[in-house]
Amino acid sequence: MTEEMRAIITIDQERCNGCGLCVDACHEGAIALVDGKARLMFEHHCDGLGDCLPACPTGAIAFEERMAAPYDEAAVAAAQREKEAVRHGCPGSAARSFGSRETAAAVGRRQSENVSELRQWPVQIKLVSPAAPYFAGADLLVAADCTAFAYGAFHRDFMAGRVTLVGCPKLDAVDYTEKLTEIVSANDIASVMVARMSVPCCGGIERAVRDAVAASGKAVPVVVRTIGTDGVLLE
């Protein structure tokens, strides 16, 4: 994306108190809370009008003239449509946290019973909101769709204790990198596990995760588990 000289906001990290009022005031979704501080996450979403400035109680936000990505109205509109679809769309897309499914009596039966380890809803990468509360401090599992069908103990060995996101880089006409970057950038993600099949097209989901973590600038550990088409864990 070619940069241009323009007015864009800057956020003083020392003065920011992490109240999040600027996040709500920014209708373009350019700002997010990262590690308890407001950050300008998407330069191309910032229109330079400054609706966030009067919302800041500490005066941490100001304008500066510098080289930045140009405002992308189409990208902002697409992000707003996605946000509204999650908020007001199909009830099946509403964010839900399930918490732990185990009780003290269930601990001893886990190995022999079919216990679901799903901790939240939705699970599709395209449908989740980066602002969903279940991402706070979460260990993520980013899995290719086919893995859960190929590997018999997927819930027990992969999903337990993790927030699960699924997708298919071959069939979904979308690049997951931007959504995953938002999730990692806006939340204190503890770790990411990638579950992929051994087929080449599954490399897309691993690449999206690695690119997202790199773009976030955070030192989030990433581990990759590869499953063969015969259902065998290859590591």
Give residue 89's pLDDT: 54
Ramachandran region, residue 182 (left: φ > 0; alpha: ψ -120 to 50; beta: rest): alpha
CA 84 to chain centre: 17
Give the SS3 label for residue 39.
strand
Give the H or E element holding residue 163. strand 163-167
Give the H or E element holding residue 186. helix 177-186
What radius of gyration do the chain's Cα atoms show?
Answer: 20
Expressed in angstroms, the distance from the first to the final Cα of the chain is: 38
Give residue 101's pLDDT: 47
- For 62-105, the pLDDT digits (tens) are 999 999 889 988 888 877 776 666 555 555 555 555 555 445 45
The rounded distance, in Å, linking the Cα atoms of 51 and 139 is 34
Parts of the chain with a pLDDT under 50: 101-102, 104, 107, 110
CA distances (Å), origin 117, targets 109, 152, 153: 14, 13, 11
- For 197-212, the pLDDT digits (tens) are 999 989 999 999 999 9
**63-77 per-residue burial string, b: 16 or more CB within 10 A, e: under 16:** eeeeebbebbeebbe
Token digits of residue 169: 């880089």
pTM of structure: 0.59
Give residue 99's pLDDT: 54
Give residue 170's pLDDT: 86
